[in-house]
Structure 1
Amino acid sequence: MTVGLRRPDGRRRRLYIPVPLVLLVLSPLILLAVLGAVVACLATGVRPLGALRGAGRVLWALPGTRFELEYHRTAVLVSVR
């Protein structure tokens, strides 16, 4: 994933974020989030496998996504490869 920043003074900065490394570091928190999501699904009557399938489809569609936000002279561009 690439995050590009354009500051008000015109300088640009690009950050490369290695997604597999971030997932490895955050894996204990991701496990807790999945368990919390399963409990929330059971509490609200949503099928956990259906919710997991929907989340998987959203993640599968992320490559190629570009998100750009501009506010006055500051801009942020997020690109998922």
Structure 2
Amino acid sequence: MPQLVTVRVARPHGRPIRVWVPVLLVALLLSPVLILAVPAGIVACLVYRVSVTRAFAAAWRLLCALRGTRFDIEQGRTAVLVSIR
């Protein structure tokens, strides 16, 4: 599971902004939302006749596979780099 997300925004004038976001802390803060999202996901799986265990296993595998991913976005002279470690 990823441990840290680094966001770097390069602005046209001035120093770049860097933000480090610990994934575990964000997960703990959003756990009340997760408690509501899990039953909604189960209901959606039942409505669309998808195996609940396979759907949650696939979501977990996707989350674990995010480690090492980088997103580079450029718009004009502003650039955003998101790195997942």
| TM-score (norm. length: structure 2) | 0.89
User: What is aligned with 1:65?
Assistant: 69
User: Where do 5+ consecutive residues of structure 2 fail to align?
Assistant: none
Looking at structure 1, the residues matched to 8 and 39 of structure 2 have their Cα atoms a distance apart, in angstroms, of 33
User: What is aligned with 2:18?
Assistant: 14
User: Where do 5+ consecutive residues of structure 1 fail to align?
Assistant: none
How many pairs does the alignment contain?
Answer: 81
**Aligned alpha-carbon RMSD (Å):** 1.0
1:41-56 alignment runs, 5 A limit: 41-56=45-60
SS in 1 for 2:67: coil
- Larger mean Cα displacement after TM superposition, 8-17 or 29-38: 8-17
> 1:31 deviation in Å?
1.4
| TM-score (norm. length: structure 1) | 0.93
Looking at structure 2, the residues matched to 47 and 8 of structure 1 have their Cα atoms a distance apart, in angstroms, of 49
Looking at structure 2, the residues matched to 8 and 52 of structure 1 have their Cα atoms a distance apart, in angstroms, of 42
1:80 corresponds to 2:84: yes
| Amino acid paired to 1:26 | L
Moved over 4 A (4+): none
Residues 36-68 of structure 1: CA deviation (Å, up to 9, x unaligned): 111101011111111011101101101111111
Instruction: Select which of 13, 27, 33 maps to 1:29.
Output: 33
Looking at structure 1, the residues matched to 14 and 79 of structure 2 have their Cα atoms a distance apart, in angstroms, of 10
Identity %: 52
